Structure 1
Amino acid sequence: MDTTEHDEWTRVLRAYPSMALETGLGDLPRREPVTLPADASVRDALQTMSERGVGSVLLLDTQGGLAGILTRHDVLERIALADTDLAAPVATVMTQPVATLQAHDTTHDAMMLMAARRIRHVPVLQDGRLINVISERDLFALQRLSIKHLGSAIAHGRTLADFQRVAADIRAYARHLMAQGVQARQLTALISRLNDQLTQGLVEMELRTAGLSADAMCWVALGSEGRGEQTLATDQDNALVFASDDPDADRPQWLAFARRVNEALDACGYPLCTGGVMAGNPPCCLTAAEWGQRFASWIDAGGPQELLQASVFFDLRAVAGRADWLDALRTAVLERTRATPRFIRQLVQVHLEHPVALNWFGGIEGRREGPHLWFDLKLQGTALLVEGARILALARGLPATGTRERLLTAGRAMGAPVPEVEGWVAAFDFLQTLRLTRQSDSSADPQQPNRIDLNTLNPVDERVLKASLRAIKTLQQRLQLDYLR
């Protein structure tokens, strides 16, 4: 390797410490490899590379096996300078044999192979089948997917297409970190933070379009985003607070603005809420006074079904605009919930209608469907902890919105044994990790991304899942004893 090449790869190697180098090549984004028969002409190969905008083409033998590779780096020396006849078979100028890696190999393996062989493209095989081609550019692209890069891209976004690209990068970055074993707590907080920034950018874009002021509104995140706990599969839960002396007259313009934001988020891959909890719907687009009245109605006179539907609104957090309005609203809400035992009692009754899925023998209860035994990690797992933590926070007037923080803060306030509280938190972290793992699996059903087949769990995960459900059961038992006696 000459000095220039050595310096180049020294630069490459120094670029990688901040990137997790153990990403499996099978976990990287895939694109269909560009291939041609080895007996195709040189002209065909060059034309294909030009039309497809790729830096290499793989050449296959008559049995479909990998025979060689031609890259742009080869063109100058083997074709242009050698004055090769463009009608000649590309097999006469291709590189063979081809250096390949397997899907279970890592980005570090790819980097080292490129350095050792002085190559820039590596085909990736799985069970003998060609599934991808990793280039030096791809490895640098992984490095560029960083919080700083994504934040900068959001800040410079001006069109919907700009934000759509960033949204795709956020999901790719999250999957990349997930593959590296980043803990669920840090990952969900990061996803929520980046989604907040993306939402802020879209809100600002639509405010400019509508000629409205950020000082006259507050965009509110609800549900998992409000708690800072968004996973890879997340839809919208949001609301709007707007300033007005005549709400009925001003509401139409704010509804039109909010609907455009909802539609833009949908276009960026955050689906519209099937339950209609979105700022672009009239019940979710209110003045501060109207919101105060709505919360008071829920707290003072809400029935069980109404409280079930309203629960997502109690995980509220300001994302854009007048955060001070929301602070005042939250303070008023917490003072009212703490002073209304009937409200807390009803929340507990509704919550206990969904008991932990453990049978008398301590086994996990799933839904049988043919050879499958399905278990929903959200509905039968994290949702129960989220609800329990919300009740504890509202009962004691605690301002925390995150489930983990609510459990820890409420646990200390109520004097619960430390191991018991730590068990609740550990259960939540484990279930969130299992959800993220499932959602990042390409075989997961996009319509039911939180569903797992209990028959596929390894013995360790099965034991920890049982222990997590037992921890949730202790939380439900405490709620029952404290608020239903």
Structure 2
Amino acid sequence: MTQDILSLLQNLHPYDVLPQATRATIARTVERVSVPRDGFVYAHGEQLEGLYIILDGQIAVKDRLNAPISLLGRENSFGERGLLKDGIAVTSAIATVDSALICLPAHLFHTLNSQFPAFKRFFDRTRSDSQNDGAKAFDLTSVRVESLMVAPPLTCRATDSVTHAAQMMRDKRISCLCVTDADTLTGIVTLRDISNKVVADGLALDTPVAQVMTHSPRTLPPSAIGSDVLHLMMEYRLGHLPIVSGNDLVGIVTQTDLTKFQASNTAGFVGEAARATSIDALAAITKRIPNLLAQLVAAGNRHDVVTRMITDIADVVTRRLLAMAEDEFGPPPVRYLWLACGSQGRQEQTGVSDQDNCLILDDDVDERGLAYFQRFAQFVCDGLNACGYVYCPGDMMATTPRWCQPVSVWREYFQHWIAAPSKEAQMLASVMFDLRPIGGDMSLFDGLQQDTLKAASSNSIFTAHMASNALTHATPLGMLRGFATIRSGEHRNTIDMKLNGVVPVVDLGRMYALQGQLSVANTRARVEAAISTAFVSESGGRDLLDAYDLVAQTRLEHQANQIKRGTPPDNFLAPDQLSGFERSHLRDAFVVIKTMQSALMQGRGVMS
């Protein structure tokens, strides 16, 4: 079990920023806890044994009045609020299904909290983020109506016949129509109105809608919050609530919308994906991810929380496809390890993500084994593509024979890239330094990463080339406090918030990890680890984190707004969509990033 726990901690923040020896101590010290369905992990007011991490299952956290706060799934932790207070549980934790947990003893939690600043910052932030990010994400008190409503709603006129209204609802598979005069709401008609007032009373089919509709229905403005909708619906037994701005109809919220919102949590996605029996079933689940992303952003979650949740779903989908591939082709002939690189490897997936992956095989693999894994990889990559994680345009996938090789060949790859840092070697090394194991035998990765980091950091020529390569992505700073936008093509007058916004910080984080021999892959965790190990100055590192948070959050909010409008999300933001205040702060963030790039270019790190 110790090795399994160690593998988990290596890829779980904030444990991934701790020294390897410390993680090994944690893995030996934690206790495994099994909790049956409806069983208590602890109750409010009890002495806490430690911090709990979910290995499998689902835990409901409730307040002292038994009101639900959050629903947590695999790799989520809980109990820190009580530990950081006085060791007494301030909530109750109950298993909703049979669950497996590990418990990090309270004394060790406090030791880590006092010795490692990055570890402490993580739990301080978790505690301050409205109790719990998982609860915040799906709390109707924290989401505005404009992110719940369907816009624009379908409408009809008061003079239309009930037959016409019924046909519209049937064809669009909806349960109501808003009745308008121009853009002004005058009423609402539902399927129940037609059933109870037309069919039941035997009215003529050409009866005008005005005769059966609800006149001057209750409404809310877009600035209302989700709980306002819920309370109004419960008080007046409403199933549909129009949303108006001034006199204009702008949207509608139904009971179904509320149900979907509250059901759209990552634990639910993970559970469904883990139980899916076909690729079509997985694709039906991942199709809902854009709406999940929009809801997570609307609820005020930080970019790193949202992207981690989105990536967690991709990880489970990938592991489910690996299991399906084994069912399809039989047991693997040798040990294998499936790894992700790119945004999935860094746990930074957004609404726009292709797939980047590879396979590491046991050195005992023969030609027949290689043929097996080629079919295996094709099945998994085809499945990922069907689920919306489109094929990598650069063929950085396990289907490419080059990226499906024994572990000894992978060691040769890294040795060659470090010894002869050509342009291609720099590019490949940049991608492969973001590797993160997803499924298979984790021991195949043991030693490979640490040996590679050690060799790379000690080769000054290689690190110089990598630093130069990391500076190829410029921030979009223009003259006279403006932005350097794209000048031509379909994205004219926009900023590429990925290539010129997020990627420069990703490159800096990778260089810090390389030079400091840091094993973490997540960009924010890399910068935090660089600060905690004094590789980067506290002031410079904190400024970079703040700048990165603003750029990444702006990018994510841009994508969420596109999803709400029903358009495919992308990375191209027009600065004129932002307020003057937002543009000013975004430009300041780019100035910070450029300053840190300059420090790296001058070989000073950011210690001066």
Q: Is 1:164 paired with 2:283?
A: yes
Residue 167 to residue 445, structure 1, CA distance change in 2 (3 Å) = closer
SS of the residue corresponding to residue 218 of structure 1 reads strand
Q: Structure 2 length as normaliser, TM-score?
A: 0.69
Q: Distance in 2 between matches of 1:369 and 1:445?
A: 25
Report Cα offsets for 1:262-289 as digits up to 9, x if no partner: 2221221222111111111222111211
After TM superposition, the structure 1 = structure 2 runs for residues 220-239 of structure 1, keeping only pairs within 5 Å, are 220-239=339-358
Residue 238 of structure 1: how far off its partner (Å): 1.0
The alpha-carbon deviation at position 131 of structure 1 amounts to 5.5
Work out the CA distance in 1 between the residues paired with 2:569 and 2:243: 30
Taking structure 1 as the reference length, the TM-score comes to 0.85
Measure the CA separation in 2 of the matches of 1:362 and 1:381: 16
Partner of residue 494 from structure 2, selected from 374, 389, 392: 374
- Cα offsets for 1:347-370 (capped at 9, x unmatched): 112223444444676654333459
Query: Match of 1:479?
Result: 600
Which letter does structure 2 place at the counterpart of 1:347?
Answer: M
CA displacement 1:253-310 (0-9 Å, x = unmatched): 2122212222221221222111111111222111211111111111111313431243
Q: 1:239 to 1:87 in 2, by over 3 A?
A: same
- Cα distance change of structure 1 residues 362 and 411 upon mapping to structure 2, 3 Å threshold: farther
Unaligned runs of 5+ in 1: 1-13
Partner of 1:398: 518
The equivalent position to 1:454 in structure 2, one of 554, 558, 575, is: 575
Q: Does 1:340 align with 2:424?
A: no
The aligned residue for residue 185 of structure 1 is 304
388, 398, 419: which one aligns with 1:300: 419
Match of 2:403 in 1: 284
- SS for the counterpart of 1:421 is helix
| 1:223 Cα deviation from its structure 2 partner | 1.3
**Greater CA drift, 230-239 or 468-477:** 468-477
**SS of the residue aligned with 2:561?**
coil
Q: Which residue of 1 aligns with 2:338?
A: 219
Contact 2:139 2:299 in 1 (8 A): no
Superposition deviation, residue 46 in structure 1: 5.0
Give the superposed CA RMSD: 3.3
SS in 2 for 1:440: helix
Letter in 2 for 1:171: P
1:30-68 deviation digits (Å, cap 9, x = unpaired): 47755555455555555665565433344566x686553
Closer, same or farther: CA 412–55 of 1 in aligned 2, 3 Å: closer
The answer to whether the 8 Å contact 2:148/2:226 transfers is: no
Quote the offset at 1:393 in angstroms. Answer: 1.2
- Describe how 1:111-130 pairs up with structure 2 within 5 A: 111-125=230-244
Distance 1:273 1:28, change over 3 A: farther
State which drifts further: 103-112 or 382-391.
103-112
Residues 131-140 or 18-27, more deviating: 18-27
**3-state secondary structure, aligned to 2:349:** coil
Residue aligning to 2:553? 433
Residue 310 of structure 2 corresponds to residue 196 of structure 1: no
Residue segments in structure 2 that go unaligned for 5+ positions in a row: 1-66, 70-134
* Aligned-partner residue type, residue 292 of structure 1: R
Q: Deviations over 1:219-272 (max 9, x none)?
A: 101011111111221111111123363444422321222122222212212221
Give me the whole-angstrom Cα distance separating, in 1, the residues matched to 2:242 and 2:333.
50
Look up the match of 2:100.
Answer: none
Instruction: Tell me which residue corresponds to 2:394.
Output: 275
Q: Any conservation in 1 of the 2:334–2:364 contact (CA below 8 Å)?
A: no
Name whichever of 245-254 and 393-402 sits farther off.
245-254
SS of the equivalent of 2:438 reads: strand
Deviations 1:361-404 (A, max 9, x none): 66543334599643222222221111122112112221111112
The 1:221/1:29 distance shift into structure 2, 3 A limit, reads farther
SS of 1:272's partner is coil
Query: Which secondary structure does the structure 2 equivalent of 1:230 belong to?
Result: coil
Aligned mates of 1:446, 1:55 — CA distance in 2:
24
Residue identity opposite 1:225 in structure 2: Q
2:437 is the alignment partner of 1:318: yes
Residue 446 of structure 1 deviates from its aligned partner by 7.4
Q: Tell me whether 212-221 or 229-238 shows the greater mean CA deviation.
A: 212-221
Q: Deviations over 1:434-484 (max 9, x none)?
A: 110111222899788222223443233223223222322332233233379
- Contact 2:473 2:503 (C-alpha < 8 Å) held by counterparts: no
Is 1:349 aligned to residue 468 of structure 2?
A: yes
**Retained in 2: the 8 A contact 1:373–1:455?**
no
Q: Give the match's secondary structure for 2:533.
A: helix
164-173 vs 119-128, greater mean Cα deviation: 119-128
- Structure holding more helix per residue: 1
Q: Give the secondary-structure state (helix, strand or coil) at the position aligned to 1:442.
A: helix
For the Cα contact (< 8 Å) 1:390–1:403, is it kept in 2? yes
Contact 1:344 1:483 in 2 (8 A): no
* Structure-1 separation of matches of 2:189 and 2:334: 58
Q: SS where residue 21 of structure 1 aligns? A: helix
1:470 and 2:591 are equivalent in the alignment? yes
Residue 8 of structure 1 is matched in structure 2 by: none
Distance 2:472 2:240 in 1: 57
- Work out which of the residue numbers 412, 415, 421 in structure 1 matches 2:541: 421
For the residues of structure 2 that align with 1:86 and 1:214, how far apart are their CA atoms? 68
Structure 2 residue aligned with 1:387: 507
How many residues in Structure 1 have an aligned counterpart in Structure 2? 470
Matched, 1:54 2:165: no
